[in-house]
Structure 1
């Protein structure tokens, strides 16, 4: 049965490619934060942080919860599970290639020994 390869949403990778957004994701890995906390920790102006958070939110990477006058952001697990599955599909391909290379090298070594 052929192995199913997961489809990676390129908008996720595109959103994560921007350094400030990647830094935000790395901060949120440790738990939810407000816009102000994110801006302070990354030395960004709050409007800049908000702009990056909106892009991350629009791409399904973070979710926001309003509490009184604060907006608290947290990572959504789904895009990272998809990313993990996508990377894992390459791991299988690479392992198959390494196995084939190992077998080829073994045959070469055996051939050299038999020619001696």
Structure 2
């Protein structure tokens, strides 16, 4: 009985101590990279095109046409995925680099220093 009360009391204390933090206000002053004239020109071009880029229905990629086939994109993805997987392994990709004949100049690959070919 005492254990149950102690457990309930400990749970209540732990749950009651979780408080939200104060609001953090960013006081960094904003510095635009565009001039007022550039912003007004952008707004005028949007109005002329009848487009509102801040609308929830704005779809800038509606008329996009890719220059690559689906197979090319899929192959590039698989190749990059395999490279990223290899480079983030325990050996930091040195085994993968050595196996694929890629030896960066001046870097150690699998324990050997190789120069550019």
Q: What is the TM-score of this pair, normalised by structure 2?
A: 0.20
The structure richer in helix per residue is 1
The structure richer in strand per residue is 1
